[in-house]
A and B are shown apart, each in its own frame.
Chain A
Amino acid sequence: MFGYYFDLAWRSLRCNPVLTALMVLAIGLGIGASMTMITVLHVMSGDPLPGRSAQLFYPQLDPRGMEDYGQGEDPPGQMAWIDAMNLLHARKGVHQAAMSGGQVTVRPVQGGKRAFYSDARFTTADFFAMFDVPFAQGGGWSAEDDDKQARVIVIAKTLADKLYGERQAVGKILRLGQNDFRIVGVIKPWSPIPHFYDLTSGGYQDGEQVFMPLSTALALHQGIGGSLECWGYMSFDHLDRKTAPCSWLQFWVQLDTPAQQQAYREFLVSYSQQQKMLGRFVRPPNTRLHNLMGWLDYNKVVPGSVQLQTLLALGFLLVCLVNTVALLLVKFLRRGGEMGVRRAMGASMRSIFAQLLAEATLVGLCGGVVGVLLALFGLWVVRQQPAQYAGLAHLDAPMLYATFALALCTTVLAAMFPAWRACRLPPARALKIQ
């Protein structure tokens, strides 16, 4: 039955190649444009750590002074050293880590290679376990290493390959700036998208190449970067990051059960009260505990321009659809005579409807193919842009299927109304005109 319908559809489409091409092109353009932008949006707003993200939380405290105080204001986006250390040592979560981004000067010893800068993450021991960082060799460092400011580092596979090639990197000594560090672990390529744990230097930067204990980095004056929010006047030239009234650390905690999460919320409030009693905090307790995806939302990680372009692409798709509905309507109504003959010979309204939908399905399939080709081209264009996220724009298998599904669904939906109108034409009238 359907074979027959598709045969009829194919003949009818071939009868009017210009109109058919127009419809296929319209759907293809609409699908191509919208899928390009939806894919970019999908990549950019994805879950950076599937399976783990629901247990990761970002606590916020408010240690600022009373100047500029406003009720209900959001606390600073980062944490001061003292608070981060207190929360870290309280060990109220399953895992917790404080961290900051920065830069180290890598000085290769052999071959007279020039020194170069590498992005670094200065953090505490739990970082690797909490974020499920995959190791190629060795492992992370211990909390004890944190305490005694051990000169150990973990490096990324790309850096290890660059420095040591095929040779084992773990156990080697690497000179960073003026100090020597022992490599204890090498991690496999790992670069969560978005770069959720530190959004201060853009949401889509690459993963770091060097990981170092935070305490060691501070003691050895490594180049700590990122943003620094301070309150009150002070000199920044000899800034002591441990005592300055500034927030500059990201802090993450893993809380597995709702009970743990509730307990942690209460802990943050009681900690704030305790600090206020001690005189360090002056504001009433003002705490937040975002989960990972909530934290990304709160920071509006997906750039407005990408959302705007997606909106534009969807508007474009809408116009393409209206265009298709109008063209299909014209096409179907024009064949009133043919329908009349089939009805008069006993075809039911339903079979006419099914036949017309089969025709639309064919158009939708062709439109889907054109759409996928255009989306591939569109994503290639996006990848040529210098934006941080550009390199991520690829069409994966689910999005490919989604493209076809979208093309088919929209075309069949667009065909519903014209097909319904066409199959309701009274057969007698159509025959009479003939």
Chain B
Amino acid sequence: MHPILSALKHHKTTVALVVLEIALTCAIVSNALFLIGDRLSNMQLSTGVADNGLVWVSSNSLREGGTPGSAMSLEQADLAALRGMPGVTAALKVNSLPLLNASMWRSGISVQPGLPKATFNNIAMYLGTPGIVGGLGIRLEQGRDFLPQEYADYSPSANQAPPSAVIVTRTLADRLWPGQSALGQPIFMGEKGKYVTRVVGVTTHLLNPTLAGRANSEDNLLLPVRSIPGGMYVLRTEPSVRDAILRDIPTVLDRVDNDRIITGSNSYARTVSDYFHDDRALIWLLLVVIGCLLALTALGVVGLSSFWVQQRTHQIGIRRAIGATRRDILRYFQAENFLIVSGGIALGLLLAVALNLLLMKQYELPRLPLAYLPVAALVLWSLGQLAVLGPALRAAAVPPVVATRLV
């Protein structure tokens, strides 16, 4: 160890530069790896909806002067036509879907009556027409599906009494009634909590239409309604004919009434995948940056070690002449590289934590779990060893006779 250190002392600046480069690489790579992990875990969240064969379409009627009744009968006619398509097993209407990335109605609720202000705010409201639970494939952990008579006329924007039954997510149930069973519990809504509805079921998972960070991503209620002005049709199809159905939907709807604009339609699987497009793009970007950084650092190490090998050819010859084996020379360069990289990693881990603190402050990212640091260290150690192997082998190949030659 000692001779290596004293040899390095002769190249203080160069060593310092390599250590700095490895430290910066280490800091950036560990934070980038962490960001990738963070995004990946977001993308693996379960939506709570069985997306296989699910398609949606939203359409706006251009007929004006209609009554709520005529809108509802058009809705019924549309649904009947959609159900009539071969390969469609269910058709219903919802106001939104998980990860649809559209704004939706949010409301404040309380678990006690008569409070002047709602205690739980920003709870997303899903509305669905008959068949919602089975049609979307929502899994109930507790309780039951809505009964046919529970579907009511209700619009969350109208300040009116909600349907008598509601289904909540497991996460929301645990927030509202910690340690108690949610079934049968009342939820109070509206001004001063004057309306009440009761929990009949609890879903395992149901994500909100948009995620704002990781927190409260499943704070939502599902209410049974008879009709939804606006909203969108959701069809469960045989997966094999899904795309054909998606293509034919506009024609089928136009046959019911062509004075409309189809504002959007897609398969639900693609909608979910689109939601994470930015995350995927960021992951690719980070992977490219990590790859380039590691390649650059490795090439830098190769360049420096080659230079040192060339510079020390004479000394290597002398060492070989007085009895050092090829293995000794190889080990020497590998040990030297290990020392330098270790120095870089030590500094790099500090930088990584500092960079993470900066990111946490500026971009509200979570704290870097310490588990990422050994991973980054391991990557850099192996990279260093790999990079030094070529020059070190060349050094080991220097014949002892070089010692007798003048340069």
Known: A117-B263, A319-B297. A307 touches B363 (CB 8 A): yes
Known: A117-B261, A322-B20. A330 touches B303 (CB 8 A): yes
The residue in chain A whose Cβ has the minimal distance to the Cβ of B15 is A326
A323 adjacent to chain B (CB < 8 Å): yes
B191 adjacent to chain A (CB < 8 Å): yes
B157 adjacent to chain A (CB < 8 Å): yes
What 0/1 readout, one digit per residue, does chain A (104-128) give for beta carbons within 8 Å of chain B? 0101000000111100000000000
Residues of chain B within 8 A of A236, CB atoms compared: 157-159
| Residues in A293-331 with C-beta less than 8 Å from chain B | 304-305, 307-309, 312-313, 315-316, 318-320, 322-323, 325-327, 329-330
Residues of chain B within 8 A of A320, CB atoms compared: 296
Q: How large is the interface on A (under 10, 10 to 19, 20 to 34, 35 or more residues)?
A: 35 or more
- Interface contact A386-B277, CB-CB below 8 Å: yes
B209 adjacent to chain A (CB < 8 Å): no
- Interface contact A308-B64, CB-CB below 8 Å: no
A22 adjacent to chain B (CB < 8 Å): yes
B155 adjacent to chain A (CB < 8 Å): yes
- Interface contact B13-A319, CB-CB below 8 Å: no
- Interface contact A26-B289, CB-CB below 8 Å: no
Q: What is the bound-complex CA distance between A406 and B101, given in angstroms? A: 39
Q: What is the bound-complex CA distance between A104 and B285, given in angstroms? A: 39
- Interface contact B300-A326, CB-CB below 8 Å: yes
Residues of chain B within 8 A of A315, CB atoms compared: 24, 27-28, 355
What 0/1 readout, one digit per residue, does chain B (158-194) give for beta carbons within 8 Å of chain A? 1110000000000000000000000000000011000
A349 adjacent to chain B (CB < 8 Å): no
B292 adjacent to chain A (CB < 8 Å): yes
A277 adjacent to chain B (CB < 8 Å): no
- Interface contact A319-B303, CB-CB below 8 Å: no
Known: A234-B159, A316-B292. A326 touches B304 (CB 8 A): yes
Residues of chain B within 8 A of A308, CB atoms compared: 359, 363
* A32 smallest CB distance to B (angstroms): 10
The residue in chain A whose Cβ has the minimal distance to the Cβ of B258 is A114
- Interface contact A327-B300, CB-CB below 8 Å: yes
B21 adjacent to chain A (CB < 8 Å): yes
Q: What is the bound-complex CA distance between A327 and B303, given in angstroms? A: 7
Known: A326-B300, A329-B14. A309 touches B285 (CB 8 A): yes
Q: Which residues of A contact B (CB under 8 A)?
A: 19, 22, 26, 29, 33, 67, 105, 107, 114-117, 177-178, 233-237, 304-305, 307-309, 312-313, 315-316, 318-320, 322-323, 325-327, 329-330, 334, 385-387, 421, 433-434
Q: A67-B117, A107-B62, A329-B13 are in contact. List 12 more A-B contacts (CB 8 A).
A: A29-B292, A233-B190, A234-B159, A305-B278, A309-B285, A319-B21, A326-B17, A326-B18, A326-B21, A385-B278, A386-B277, A434-B407
Q: Which residues of B contact A (CB under 8 A)?
A: 13-14, 17-18, 20-21, 24-25, 27-28, 32, 62, 64-65, 117, 155, 157-160, 190-191, 259, 261, 263, 274, 277-278, 281-282, 285-286, 289, 292-293, 296-297, 299-300, 303-304, 307, 310-311, 355, 359, 362-364, 407
